[in-house]
Amino acid sequence: MEEEAMVKKKRAAKAVVVGGSIAGLSCAHSLIAAGWEVVVLEKTASPPSGSPTGAGLSLEPQARGVIDRWLGDPTILHNITLPLDIELHQAFNTEKKHVRTLVRDDHFTYRCAHWTDLHSVIHKALPPGIILWGHRFLSICSSDRASVKIKVQVLQSNEIVEISGDLLVAADGCMSLIRQHFLPNHKLRYSGYSAWRGVFNFSDDEKSNTISVLRRTYPDLGKCLYFDYSSGNHCVLFEIRNQRLNWIWYFNTPEPHKEGNSVTKKVSEEMVKNMHEEAGKLWNPALALLMKETEEPFINVIYDSDPLPRLTWGNVVLVGDAAHPTTPHASRSTNMSILDAEVLGISLKKSAPENLSMALQEYQAIRHPVVSKQVVESREMGLLKQGLLLRDEAALSSPEEFFGIQHRSICFYEQVPTAL
């Protein structure tokens, strides 16, 4: 009887997750597996739909294994992703119209997906009713080792309500209000460059001139992560499921004006026109054509932050971009978020709710060194890519010189620790 009462008490422990993005939903899966009751608060009114704009992402094997366990069927993730068996870095000489390989990895083991597709399968695998859509986090009312209480606005009615739980999980992104509550002086750092982004859908015309030219120029599309370089610029290109091409063009620029809490910048027709003209000067004709044919391109302003001094305060824990705003190089953001959730769940499962402090200390001990190093190394990789000195062919360097621009140069590339 006493043991049964303890189990019931453990199951009664409640976690409130702020943020319904991939980081927040991942934590919901991991905490439910650890025996916790979970409620997720998300300010948007409904799940994201399949928009032609958005972001492609790539998943490392360890993160995919975690997701497969949550979904209970490995074919689900496999069916919304494409393989990235090759990572290829190449430089385009605008004067000579010549491409040369900098470094190539034929043993790349990532898979790529559209953000919306990944979010959808993770969301659908959760129990119904645990996500409260249209709920905006406002502030922390009180927090101690026993409980936490937050103030939330219900957007449909404008009602202000209080929600309490045993644990508060901050998955509210790189502009996290919860992080700001504990670290008011910790600021985001502008990287020195921003990025044009776009997703080109060719499902209506797979044999169009644009696609034919791209297939000839990039013959390994569908299994390769391409990086093209020009002085002060680099571009990422890969194919994702359902006949879509994801491209990202990073360009050096002074910090743009930040619009509210968004790192996405609105663009005008004039800005898009200028981008098309510049693409024709910098990139090979196939890539420039792709950019011109893409509908609704947009700009992401690239920020990260110095590593945080800590990830937990009492019964509040930071995960995902709230815990480690990072540049998007080496595919860190989503992969780190998934591993954050995995480690948090493992740590909580090992400890009873009354030992929450011990569990969060373990989470911090495991994750803080990893994410701190990966944030710094991703930053260094981005600076190297944006300032890469492309030599003349006569002075072509060996591939070893370009090791620092590859994914496998990032620490913990092969395996991330998940337990002490």
CATH number for the domain harbouring residue 192: 3.30.9.60
- Could you give the dihedral angle defined by the CA atoms of residues 394, 397, 398 and 401, in that order, rounded to the nearest 10 degrees? -170
Residue 327 has pLDDT above 90, yes or no: yes
Res. 5: pLDDT tops 60:
no
Q: Could you count the other beta carbons within 10 Å of the beta carbon of residue 323?
A: 28
Give the CA-trace dihedral at 64, 175, 413, 338, to 10 degrees: -20
The answer on 176 and 48 residing in a single domain is yes
- pLDDT at 33 > cutoff 60: yes
The pLDDT tens digits for 209-263 are 889 999 999 999 999 999 999 888 999 999 999 999 999 999 999 998 877 667 8
Which of 304, 333, 364 marks a domain boundary?
A: 304
Residues 347 and 215 in one domain: no
Query: Is there a domain that residue 149 lies in?
Result: yes
The pLDDT of residue 52 is 43
How long a stretch of residues is the chain? 420
Is residue 64 assigned to a domain? yes
In this predicted structure, which of 31-40, 61-70, 144-153, 156-165 has the lowest mean pLDDT?
Answer: 144-153
Closest CA to 235 of 223, 222, 218, 219: 218
Q: Which residue has the higher pLDDT, 1 or 108?
A: 108
The CATH number of the domain holding residue 351 is 3.50.50.60
Domain count, the chain: 2
Residue 30 domain-assigned (yes or no): yes
Do 142 and 34 sit in the same domain of this protein?
yes
Give the per-residue pLDDT at 407. 96
| Beta sheet of 37-42, edge-to-edge order | 131-133, 37-42, 14-18, 167-170, 316-318, 312-313
In a domain, 297, yes or no: yes
Residue 123 forms part of a structural domain = yes
Phi, psi of 236 (to 5 degrees): -110, 140
- Its domain, for residue 240, covers 85-108+188-304
pLDDT of residue 231: 83
Q: Quick one: 101 and 213 in the same domain?
A: yes
> Do 327 and 252 share a structural domain?
no
Verify that 299 and 314 share a domain, yes or no: no
pLDDT of res. 145:
75
**Residue 332 confidence (pLDDT):** 95
Shared-domain flag, residues 9 and 136: yes
pLDDT tier for residue 157 given thresholds of 50, 70 and 90: very high
47, 172: one domain: yes
Q: Is residue 327 part of a domain?
A: yes
Q: Average pLDDT of 12-24?
A: 95
Q: Are residues 142 and 275 in the same domain?
A: no
In a domain, 79, yes or no: no
Of all residues in the chain, the percent with pLDDT exceeding 70 is 92
Are 104 and 212 contained in the same domain? yes
Of 170-179, 191-200, 347-356, where does mean pLDDT reach its minimum?
A: 347-356
Residue 392 pLDDT exceeds 50:
no
Shared domain check, 160 and 287: no
**pLDDT at position 199, please?**
94
pLDDT of residue 398: 58
Around Cβ 351, how many Cβ atoms within 10 Å?
A: 17
**Domain boundary, last residue among 304, 326, 358:** 304
Identify the domain boundary among 304, 324, 354: 304
**What is each CA distance from 122 to 81, 319, 322, in whole angstroms?**
14, 17, 20
pLDDT at residue 286 greater than cutoff 50: yes
Give residue 103's pLDDT: 92
Assess whether 35 and 175 both reside in one domain. yes
pLDDT higher than 60, residue 358: yes
150 belongs to a structural domain: yes
